[in-house]
A and B are shown apart, each in its own frame.
Chain A
Amino acid sequence: MRMPKTPAIQPQQGSHHLGKIEVLPNAIHTIAVQAIIESYGVVGLTAPRLRNGKAVFLPHDHLNQGVQIRIVDDQIIVEVYVALEYGLRISEIAHNIMSAVKFSIEKMLGVPVAQVNVNVQGLSQDLNK
């Protein structure tokens, strides 16, 4: 997998005299993805780039591509690319995603998340109706 070359995060909690702990962006992706797929109103993660102007749903084992992590001054900036359920209040869902992602990463890593940017790339309609 091609990951952006970003410095690893070093959690600062407690004292760790035995060695260094580094958390690579891959792990942060997984934490973010878990938080996103449990967020209500999200029907899929999408590729950051549209194809022919349309959102591309990511298959289950490539969900990590729907999240981009940048680390600036030891702070995490998360870009999230999603498709939401049609007929729900998009702004509220986006807020829920932001707080869920920020909360999980901060809880698990103890490193502040500076920004979570939610990019809504499409809406999904119930095709049964």
Chain B
Amino acid sequence: MQELTPHTPGVRLQRLRRITVFDGQDLKKAMLAGAASLEEHREIINALNVFPVPDGDTGSNMFATIQAAFRDVINCDDTSAGVISARLAHGALLGARGNSGVIFSQILRGLAQGLDKKQTFSALDLALALDEAQRLAYRAVIKPVEGTILTVVRETAEAAMASAKRGDDLVSMMQEAIIAARQSVAHTPDLLPTLKQAGVVDAGGQGLCTILEGVWHYVRGESGQVTNASLLTSSTTPILESTVKKGRVKIEEEFGYEVVFLLRGENLDVKGIRQTIIDMGGVSTVVAGDEKMLKIHTHSESPGKILDYGVGLGSLLDINIENLQEQSLTYAAESEAEHAAEEMQPVTHPIATVAVVAGPGFERVFRSIGVTAIVPGGQTMNPSTEELLAAVDAVDARQVILLPNNNNVILSARQVTGLSSKEVFVVPTESMPQGIAALLGFNFEADFEANCEAMAEAASHIQTAEITTAIRTVQVGGVRVREGDFIGLVNGNLVIAGQDIEYVIRETLQRMNIERFEIVTLYFGEGVTRQQAEDTARSIKEKYSHLEIEVVDGGQPHYAYILSAE
């Protein structure tokens, strides 16, 4: 990126900056932002599917395709736009899924042809590449259907070309392109009668537009924080408006359950059914299809009533009910914590901390000591680089300290450093207690570098022991373990195995030279009661009377106990 004008905080200008040239890494980041945007909205795009189109879940298919596109790109440091775009196209070709995915892979192929052998590209180069993309996209079908993703890519490319010929830079050109894409999507029902009947816009076109929204946000210098506004551009989908999820969510009664099913019947009245479901209290209702088969998607407090109503009209197929209340509670708690942490931070030192945490108890602990955001995960469920990147991009700070809290997550956390436009430092914490120690070492008043150092230092003083159950019979480092045994690990190394948990805990403590430490924190996991944990703590205290033992509900999966010693 070149020719950045100074960023004015707090002022939302149309023209924050001017960019004349992008290289391959910029292209990669822009497309990653596009993929993130698609991931966020994929369920809504799935819901847009007019049922009688033999292309299942457009949102998921396109997302699978763009994920495949990144397979060889995510770790690629090449700065050549030609190389990056060629790899994107190749990945998409191999992983294309569904009709829209195949078309999207062809669009990427066209872009790659347009950017072939180019190290960097200008607005005009990109416009030419987009033109090539739309030409190739149309080439691969005998009878192109208008009112689909094809129309959207063509009209977007036309707008980009017109803008580039006027001499616009990449920012202005992308703005023109995204406006054209939104309009094009909004017009798809005028071109394709089935869409109009169903009262939706084309799902594939919306998918492409959603990707471009992400790219546009990146180009404009706002990573993450994509609003849903783009998904609601069509006047023909007014019912979708209530699905807008704001950054700060209050728990509202209307979440309830998500109900999705197919309704087969005779002479079904799409509009009437939609209205009835809305009258019954259905939120975010989408009813699409024809008089014989409808796809119904709604959110309701009482899914039973909706299903009863459906049964009265015909037969129900592929019924799927999900509890949104639970999801939204988690989401609300997370966003609350994020905002609370933000408010605690002085505005002049916008450093955020993001931690990978497993277990509700540990989450509470991390929140209570001021972590900005939490990515759920840990042993056996390592979060991906994308999830970490999304969390880093979502926090409202330019500098982010990442606590992986697991040996297996450190590597993917380090990849975030190169992918995010923010300044990211990874404190290589190998366990949650280390993460807690690091977080306690965080100083709001110190600068980024000082904090990184202090946190790494704080983490290094912590010894962690973990008590869990062996899932198979094995011999590691001279310790024989049978399936079902309790095993003790010190800093990730297996030290002892046995049938009796008390014995294993005692031996583990001994091997970590517990005499040298003063404070032990005992985090008990999901299968253990507080009473059991207190008893364990008492028996440790009997043996090592100098220790101060604190018992904390960690709620972690798999590990009965996690102990930290300092």
CB-defined contacts of A87 to chain B, threshold 8 Å: 93, 106, 109
Q: What separation, in Å, do the CA atoms of A102 and B139 have in the docked complex?
A: 24
Known: A88-B102, A100-B54. Contact between A38 and B143, CB under 8 A?
Answer: yes
Given A37-B142, A38-B143, A126-B136, verify A89-B105 contact (CB < 8 Å).
yes
Number of residues in B with C-beta < 8 Å to the partner? Answer: 24
The reply to whether A88 and B141 form a contact with Cβ atoms under 8 Å apart is no
Q: Mark B110-142, 1 if CB is under 8 A from A, else 0.
A: 000100000000000000000000001001111
For B93, B96, B101, B102, the residue with the greatest tally of chain A CB atoms inside 10 Å of its CB is B102
CB distance from B381 to the nearest CB of A (A): 30
Indicate the size class of the contact surface on chain A. 20 to 34
- Closest Cβ of chain B: how far from A81's Cβ, in Å? 14
Q: Cβ of B52 and Cβ of A42 under 8 Å apart?
A: no
Closest B residue to A99 by beta carbon equals B54
Of A84, A96, A100, A102, the most chain B CB neighbours within 10 A belong to A96
| A residues near B143, Cβ cutoff 8 Å | 37-38
Interface: A129 (CB within 8 A) = yes
List residues 436-479 of chain B with CB under 8 A from any CB of chain A: none
CA distance A9 to B97 in the complex (A): 34
Q: Is A26 among interface residues, defined by CB-CB distance under 8 A?
A: no
Q: Known contacts being A88-B93, A92-B96, A96-B102, is A41 close to B140, with CB within 8 Å?
A: yes
Question: From residue B191, how far is it (CB to closest CB) to chain A in Å?
Answer: 14
Is B103 an interface residue, CB under 8 A from the partner? yes
Query: Please, what's the 1-or-0 string for A79-105, where 1 marks a CB less than 8 Å from any CB in chain B?
Result: 000001101110011001001101100
Chain B residues near A16 (CB-CB < 8 A): none
Q: Say yes or no: is B333 at the interface (Cβ < 8 Å to chain A).
A: no
Say yes or no: A89 contacts B94, CB within 8 Å. yes
Q: Does B98 contact A (CB under 8 A)?
A: yes
Q: Does B526 contact A (CB under 8 A)?
A: no
Q: Are A42 and B98 within 8 A (Cβ)?
A: no
CA distance A99 to B54 in the complex (A): 6
Cβ-defined contact, B102 with A103, below 8 A: no
B491 within 8 A of A: no
Task: Return the chain A residue nearest B89 by Cβ.
Answer: A87
Residue of A nearest to B292 (CB): A107
Majority DSSP secondary structure for residues of B touching A: helix
Query: Per a CB cutoff under 8 Å, which of B95, B101, B113, B141 touches A39?
Result: B141
Smallest distance from the beta carbon of B109 to chain A beta carbons, Å?
6
Q: A40-B103, A41-B102, A96-B102 are in contact. Are A89 and B140 (CB under 8 A)?
A: no
Roughly how many angstroms separate A102 CA and B52 CA in the complex, as a whole number? 12
- Residues on the B chain within 8 Å of A28, using CB: none
Is B139 in contact with A85, judged by CB distance below 8 angstroms? yes
Q: Which residues of A contact B54 (CB under 8 A)?
A: 96, 99-100, 102-103
CB of A44 closer than 8 Å to a CB of B:
yes
CB neighbours of A36 from chain B (8 A): 142
Chain A, Cβ-Cβ closest to B52: A107
A interface residues, Cβ below 8 angstroms from B = 36-44, 84-85, 87-89, 92-93, 96, 99-100, 102-103, 107, 126, 129
Among all A-B residue pairs, the 9 with the closest Cβ atoms: A85-B140, A99-B54, A37-B142, A89-B96, A103-B54, A37-B143, A96-B99, A40-B141, A92-B96
Query: Can you add 13 more A-B contacts, CB < 8 Å, to A37-B141, A129-B113?
Result: A37-B142, A38-B141, A38-B143, A38-B145, A40-B102, A40-B106, A41-B141, A42-B140, A44-B142, A88-B96, A88-B105, A88-B109, A96-B99
